Amino acid sequence: MKKCLIADNNEFYLEFFSDILVSYGYYVDKACDGLIALNYAREKKYDLFIFDYIMPKIDGIRLAKYIKSIPHYSNTPIILITAAALESIKIEDMESYADVFVAKGPFEKMKEIFNELIPDIERLAINKEKKILGLADIYPRQIVKELLRTELNHAAIFKNLIEGILQIDEEGKILFVNDSFCQNLKYSEEHIIGKNINEIFNHNDYPYINNILESLKTEKKPLKDSTVITYGNKTFHVSLYNLINEANTYSGAFLILQDVTEIRNKINEVTAIFNITQAFLSNLPYSKVLEYVIYELRRLIKAIDITLILSCEGMFKGEVIQNKDKKLAGNESRKIDYWVDKIINWKKSGLITVKNVNKLNKLKFEDLSTLWQPLVFQKNFLGTLLGFKQLGGDFDEEEVRFFEAVGNQIAVYLSNIEFLHKQSQPEETELKKLSQTVDDDIFIKTLYLKWEERQKKKIVQKICENLSNNLSLLDGYIDYLGKNSNFDTVEEKKCYEKIIYVENRLKLLRDDFCIVNRISGNEDETNIKIFEVGEIFKKLKESLPNNIIIIKDEIPSFQKWGDFDKIVFILKKTLEELVAIGASSFDVETNRLDNGLEINIICTFDKFSNSLKNTIDLFRNEKWNDYDDTLYYLFYNLKTLLNFLSSQFDIKQNGDNLEIKIIFQTY
């Protein structure tokens, strides 16, 4: 038995057409809107379609278009039914989708048309003969024409907007998308219509979109909300608007997608330039600064590798600092290593000099696009900066300019480092003599004090090493006792447990001692690395006693680049100081932001002291004060350390609680 699908939002017409088709031996399915009809067509197999032109959710023309895109329906006949405005529609715009157009008119006349049409419908579809029937028997209504033309104009505007447009119904089913939306997300219109929006923006990857939609459902008036998402390699600003019907209930939503990838890239470039400048001005050891700079450079010019080969003369001794893309293919990595070794050998053999290589070169080693910049400042050759693009790729003009600008900054930085290194070489006795005799030479005195600080640091370092060795022995004895002793009394077991507790406290003190030693000396041992923010609070929870830190929700994965040990140490010391003045617990709450991760630490006090209030007031003035208070010192250091990581730190009193807010921002 042949099957027919009829779609019309008027129940009378549904029954009218159904009776005609049943009399011709068809099995009939009926749908009251275009979305239901589309789902039926996808799930079942039909031999004929009859659609009303104007229907809720998906109109007849779009429905015909989507069905014709399904391969097994390419030759299936579609009859499109419409009312008085048919003569005002451009039929040529619809001909590729529907085979026959029938104007709604007197029922007897329409029955006659169908009695002539149905026996011949398959031949019309196969021969691609387009017919318009019943037009002479209807009475055009001008207002219907004008309304329909207005609707078609609005549809054309939405269709051609540069922003992506998507409409869903109250159940989240997609009713409309324009070309821009499909192009941005790389979907075809036929594929996406009728799907649930969660299939496009699933909750795990795009929780904010789903959360906004859920909140819009509860509103009784039109509202707008927005968020920023990353989809593939693009960034979009997404605006969402709820649709409220005449009964003041939710009937769906509009989503407007604006591509802000270029804006994001520009912000990233400005941020990177700022971060690079901050790195050059920092007290970090030069190797750590250069590691960070070439990491930022590789990321921004989309290179697979940046290699810095320092000069063999002077203080650098031919060091090689390299940053590779972790997803680098093996053959690309081998080619890069081969050419880096070649250039090092050319330099050692005297083939590369300031005279023959003194400007940026863009060249290809086989199919490996390469930027090669000698680092020269005041006629001194300080090193070579190399950038490699993926096989078959190439650097654009903007990337070349950025590479050259950063290379010039590196050359100036290396020259300054070398100059300062030479200035800090005088012998200890001469420095001491000068500092005692030349009272007005502050520079020399500063150098001596720095030298003296380094000597103290070495002594403290030896103490730490000695403490570590003895702790290792104690660890061994405890392990032996635990495995080989059966404790005769409860007191012996308690004593053993106390020894373990004391050993753990000694280990924590040793770790603190090591960090203090690093902070108080020069920055040669700064440990810069990429870390998970959640690891900070895991460490704090282990270090502070009695489960005083309560982490309410699992901290989302979020990575930063910096001195992890210092951040943990200063945060731990801050919380310990707060405990000493009456803090009883610390509740840690997290909030994922569009541009980072917000951590709120709620410090609970029985009573908020005046001294703590004074400390907070001084700190929030954002101006350093010579205030002899450990907590003030820790707050100030924590803020300085986090600012260097492009992150924010703030504290405020809220009743008898202290709120500490840290926002770890994306670079």
How do residues 472-490 score in pLDDT, each as one tens digit?
666 666 666 666 566 666 7
Alpha-carbon distance of 573 to 569, in angstroms, equals 6
Please tell me which residue, 65 or 487, carries the higher pLDDT value.
65
- Give the residue range(s) of CATH 3.40.50.2300 domains in the chain: 3-146
CATH class of 526-665: alpha beta
User: For residue 143, what pLDDT is reported?
Assistant: 42
Structure token digits, residue 330: 């093996």
Mean pLDDT of 550-559: 86
Q: Given pLDDT bands bounded at 50, 70 and 90, which one contains residue 453?
A: low
User: For residue 523, what pLDDT is reported?
Assistant: 44
Q: Given pLDDT bands bounded at 50, 70 and 90, which one contains residue 127?
A: low
Q: Evaluate whether 635 touches 615 at the Cβ level (below 8 Å).
A: yes
Instruction: Mean pLDDT check: name the lowest of 165-179, 418-432, 600-614.
Output: 418-432
- Give the residue range(s) of CATH 3.30.450.40 domains in the chain: 271-423
Fold classification of 271-423 is Beta-Lactamase (3.30.450)
CATH dotted code for 161-259 = 3.30.450.20
- Give the residue range(s) of CATH 3.30.450.20 domains in the chain: 161-259
Alpha-carbon distance of 261 to 237, in angstroms, equals 9
- For residue 601, the SS3 value is strand
User: For residue 497, what pLDDT is reported?
Assistant: 72
- Give the residue range(s) of CATH 3.30.565.10 domains in the chain: 526-665
CA of 487: how far to CAs of 467, 497, 533, in Å? 28, 11, 42
User: For residue 454, what pLDDT is reported?
Assistant: 58
Residue 423 has pLDDT above 70, yes or no: no
Q: Given pLDDT bands bounded at 50, 70 and 90, which one contains residue 639?
A: confident
Q: How many CA atoms lie within 13 Å of 295's alpha carbon, on the beta-carbon side?
A: 16
Alpha-carbon distance of 63 to 7, in angstroms, equals 10
User: For residue 96, what pLDDT is reported?
Assistant: 61
Contact partners, residue 267, CB within 8 Å, separation at least 6: none
CATH of 3-146, one of 3.40.50.720, 3.20.20.140, 3.40.50.2300, 3.30.465.10: 3.40.50.2300
Contact partners, residue 648, CB within 8 Å, separation at least 6: 642, 661, 662, 663, 665
Q: Evaluate whether 382 touches 376 at the Cβ level (below 8 Å).
A: yes
In the chain, % of residues over pLDDT 90: 16
User: For residue 390, what pLDDT is reported?
Assistant: 85
Residue 257 has pLDDT above 80, yes or no: yes
Q: What are the DSSP E strand ranges found in 276-379? A: 305-310, 320-324, 361-365, 368-377
Ordered alpha helix ranges (H), 56-141: 60-68, 107-117, 121-126
Q: What is the pLDDT of residues 94-126, one digit of tens each?
A: 556 788 888 877 788 888 888 888 888 877 666
